[in-house]
Amino acid sequence: MQKDKKQLLLDAALKLFVEYGFHGTPTSLIAKEAGVANGTLFHYFKTKDELIVALYVDIKNRMAAYVFENAKGQATFKETVKEQYLASLFWAQDNQLQYRFAEQFKNSPYLSQIAPDEIEASVKPFHDMLRMGIKEGVIKSQPVELLFTIISSHAYGINQYFMSTNFSKAKQHQVISDSFEMLWAMLT
Amino acid sequence: MQKDKKQLLLDAALKLFVEYGFHGTPTSLIAKEAGVANGTLFHYFKTKDELIVALYVDIKNRMAAYVFENAKGQATFKETVKEQYLASLFWAQDNQLQYRFAEQFKNSPYLSQIAPDEIEASVKPFHDMLRMGIKEGVIKSQPVELLFTIISSHAYGINQYFMSTNFSKAKQHQVISDSFEMLWAMLT
DNA sequence: ATTATGACTGACTAAACAGTCAGCAAATTT
DNA sequence: AAATTTGCTGACTGTTTAGTCAGTCATAAT
């Protein structure tokens, strides 16, 4: 039983988009790489843009699911934040293509095709959590949007660092763990 | 005396690339926006790719010049780092188009068209400075690449935050200044 | 005054592209 | 067994695109 063709198309598109960019990748090449006919792409996605947006939404959902799955049921606030931070970076580590695609997408004009309230909804759980931390007096009283952005971009930076080095997985885990303690010091 | 046509083309390309993306912007539209003939673009830039890369290099140089100009001659290490950090963010504030273009470029496959040693050279002054700080025992003893990436992405985060808010310039300056102190606490 | 130069033009072309569509073959329903 | 549906195909098309090039014109050199 092989993967269904929709998934094959998404996999092929991901790989090619990261390598050649959105418009540097013709739909014909995506179909070829996926091993399906040209028209099949348009059977599953009305337009190329729809494929690009669908791919982004799919990746975002998978990452969010992974982070929440791995960070649930922590005893303290700090442990919750830490596990979410670690899970994000571990996910990025194991899904470099997805991560790079997401960054490319976020910095492109395609981002405007995602409804603002959809973006809003995806960050809400994190904002709520941070609000709780402030209420409990564990972290600094600052706008949660600012705190969340700082945490996210800190993780982004660590990931960039890994992309330019050649650390073993164990070494990377070490750096991630250390970097969280630096980050935490900044938040409290 | 009007700007020369090369600069008009770069200005037009910048505006359109940020709005429509690299491949979403035909060369014909760039020429039209610049108010020059179609062929003039190819008189100054052999290919569209060359224009894109030239635009990035130009922007990077301008930003670097601004940062160094504004941060030179500080008395202490901390003040030097702080002024460079502030200057970067002030520049981004006053050059939103340039900043967004640079981010789009950095996260695209075009980045690979910049020679690694050129990238290396552009970050070297910062690495050297950080090395000095470590030697003097002012900041944490960590790989300078890591420290620099953390500082850069912290600034990136603050800028992202500004893009989703509507603060006055004064308020933004306040946030930038505060955020540096948080960052500094993390580095020492 | 004549010639030479080089920035600039814009009509043009070959190639590439996203998207269409008539229809096929296998599975499912009747 | 016939009819219908469904997932898929790939040749095709109208449009758009990057890049070309023969030639214009203002300025500068002789």
d(C-alpha B146, C-alpha B187), whole Å? 11
Q: How confident is the model at residue A4 (pLDDT cuts 50, 70, 90)?
A: confident
Query: How confident is the model over B163-175, as pLDDT tens digits?
Result: 999 999 999 999 9
Q: How confident is the model at residue A1 (pLDDT cuts 50, 70, 90)?
A: very low
B147-174 per-residue burial string, b: 16 or more CB within 10 A, e: under 16: bbbbbbbbbbbbbbbbeeeeeeeeebee
pLDDT at B76 over 80: yes
Smallest Cβ–Cβ distance between A20 and the set B109, B164, B186 belongs to B109
d(C-alpha A175, C-alpha A2), whole Å? 38
Choose, out of B85, B126, B141, B153, the residue to mutate when testing the contact with A (most A CBs < 10 Å): B153
Query: How confident is the model over A39-80, as pLDDT tens digits?
Result: 999 999 999 999 999 999 999 999 999 999 999 889 999 999
Domains of chain B from N-terminus onward: 1-45 (1.10.10.60), 56-187 (1.10.357.10)
Coil, strand or helix at A76: coil
Q: How confident is the model at residue B3 (pLDDT cuts 50, 70, 90)?
A: low
Q: How confident is the model at residue A123 (pLDDT cuts 50, 70, 90)?
A: very high
Q: Check if the beta carbon of residue A148 is closer than 8 Å to that of residue A127.
A: yes
Which residues of chain B are within 8 Å of residue A182 when distances are taken between CB atoms?
Answer: 150, 186
d(C-alpha A18, C-alpha A24), whole Å? 10
Q: Check if the beta carbon of residue B56 is closer than 8 Å to that of residue B114.
A: yes
Distance from CA of B11 to the nearest CA of A (A): 18
Query: How confident is the model over B16-63, as pLDDT tens digits?
Result: 999 999 989 999 999 999 999 999 999 999 999 999 999 999 999 999
Which residues of chain B are within 8 Å of residue A156 when distances are taken between CB atoms?
Answer: 153, 156-157
Q: Check if the beta carbon of residue B15 is closer than 8 Å to that of residue B1.
A: no
Q: Which residues neighbour strand C (beta carbon < 7 Å)?
A: A 23, 25-28, 38-39, 42-43, 46-49; B 4-6, 36-40, 42-44
Smallest Cβ–Cβ distance between B182 and the set A24, A156, A186 belongs to A186
Which residues of chain B are within 8 Å of residue A104 when distances are taken between CB atoms?
Answer: 107-108
DSSP letter assigned to residue B74: -
Q: How confident is the model at residue B1 (pLDDT cuts 50, 70, 90)?
A: very low
The set of strand D positions with any atom below 7 Å of a protein CB reads 7-12, 16-22
Query: How confident is the model over B93-151, as pLDDT tens digits?
Result: 999 999 999 999 999 999 999 999 999 999 999 999 999 999 999 999 999 999 999 99
Q: Check if the beta carbon of residue B183 is closer than 8 Å to that of residue B154.
A: yes
pLDDT of res. B2:
52
d(C-alpha A101, C-alpha A111), whole Å? 12
In angstroms, the CA of A41 and the C1' of D7 are apart by 12
**Mean pLDDT along residues A83-104:** 96
d(C-alpha A6, C-alpha A11), whole Å? 9
In angstroms, the CA of B145 and the C1' of C24 are apart by 59
Choose, out of A161, A174, A188, the residue to mutate when testing the contact with B (most B CBs < 10 Å): A161
Hey, are the CB atoms on B158 and A150 less than 8 Å from each other? Answer: yes
pLDDT of res. A2:
52
Nearest residue of A to residue B146, measured between CA atoms: A161
* Residue that wins the pLDDT comparison between B63 and A3: B63
Which residues of chain B are within 8 Å of residue A179 when distances are taken between CB atoms?
Answer: 146, 150
Nearest residue of B to residue A152, measured between CA atoms: B157
Q: Check if the beta carbon of residue A43 is closer than 8 Å to that of residue B43.
A: no
pLDDT at B179 over 70: yes
pLDDT of res. B19:
94
Q: Check if the beta carbon of residue A5 is closer than 8 Å to that of residue A37.
A: no
